[in-house]
Amino acid sequence: MHALSHGTTSKPTTIAVPPALSLPVIEAAFPRQLHPYWPKLQEETRAWLLEKRLMPAGKVEEYADGLCYTDLMAGYYTDAADEVLQAIADYSAWFFVWDDRHDRDIVHGRPDAWRRLKDHLHTALDRPADHLRHEDALVSGFADSVRRLYSFLPDTWNARFARHFHAVIEAYDREFRNRTEGTVPTVEEYLELRRLTFAHWIWTDLLEPSAGCELPDAVRKDPSYRKAALLSQEFAAWYNDLCSLPKELAGNEVHNLGISLIVHEGLSLEEAVADVRCRVEKCVTEFLDAEQEVLRFADGLDDGTVGGKERGAAVRSCLGNMRNWFSSVYWFHHESGRYMVDSWDDRSTPPYVNNEAAGEK
């Protein structure tokens, strides 16, 4: 299936979506949005990756734009102020680089290096200002991005973000152990772990600085709001599994919904792909129903008071960006060089990873 996409140029390009991965409902019912700051965002994040030494200059020049990390965020948080979007995009780019380091530490058997990094990230999350000059670029870059994210909303939001990301770090540690030991989690174990390694609640937390205010607990924990947020993230995580399955099979991965279904449910590869696709499609249809519930909830918050009007508007903003996540994630997987395994010289080694900085030859 072909559809117009923004891509990484100023003109839309035609992207061919493989039939097994095409979702006509996304292309028809979820029009793609792109923040007007995006061209500058791409330029600034590219410069930030260089400044923070997160990727070598040659890798940035050759791969950064094609990886489409800024496209993903610019298509998601479309209501954010430019400064907020820039902080989120830099943090997101850092997250991808961290994910690659985690992978390389596993592939090359560096448990001590991983443990040191994990511990440093935990402390940098709580005291980012103390780690801005850390010798490990991944730690100092993380500290810089977190420090900026902490500047937009009250300390209560910062504490929640930190609590959620501490859990993400520990989930990455569990994934490290599983991959090192060759342990494929059961489907239920995987789904629970995936909500953390995909950072469901981090991306949901970041809806709030994008909307310009912290939502009260009663709003965030409303069943309709929470359901819509979870569905948007589940869609993204499972669609990622669907698209990255060839890459992860080539890399002897153990963390993919399809792999858990094959190993623990006895499904064939074709059956596992069909199962994951069915779950992805169900997320879309259930979100469309949940979306209407959240809109009614937002209307109820707007009780004629100034505070009520602001809360209602913030919920609508967050919901609109949840909706954006569907199209942004969908096109990201067909534009980003991160998933173009067939074009790599070695299907198990991404060409954009920084091996030299990790001491590899």
pLDDT, tens only, 44-80: 999 999 999 999 999 999 889 999 999 999 999 999 9
In the chain, % of residues over pLDDT 90:
80
Q: What is the pLDDT of residues 136-164, one digit of tens each?
A: 999 999 999 999 999 999 999 999 999 99
In the chain, % of residues over pLDDT 70:
93
Q: Global pTM?
A: 0.93
Angle formed at CA 161 by CA 91 and CA 235, multiple of 5 degrees: 70
Q: What is the pLDDT of residues 216-243, one digit of tens each?
A: 999 999 999 999 999 999 999 999 999 8
Amino acid at position 92, single letter = S
List the catalytic residues.
95-96, 198, 338
Q: What is the pLDDT of residues 32-47, one digit of tens each?
A: 999 999 999 999 999 9
Report d(CA 41, CA 230) in Å as an integer: 27
pLDDT at 346: 73
Report d(CA 234, CA 237) in Å as an integer: 5
pLDDT at 354: 66
Cβ atoms of 2 and 17 closer than 8 Å: yes
Mean pLDDT of 107-130: 97
The pair of structure tokens assigned to 176 is 């490290």
Q: Is 142 exposed, middle or buried (0-12, 13-18, 19+ CB in 10 A)?
A: buried
| Site of tokens 């839309």 | 12
Beta strands in the chain (DSSP E): 2-5, 13-16
Amino acid at position 271, single letter = E
Q: How many residues does the chain have?
A: 361
**pLDDT class of 246 with cuts at 50, 70, 90:** confident
Check residue 2 and report its DSSP letter. E
Report d(CA 15, CA 343) in Å as an integer: 16
Mean pLDDT of 190-194: 96
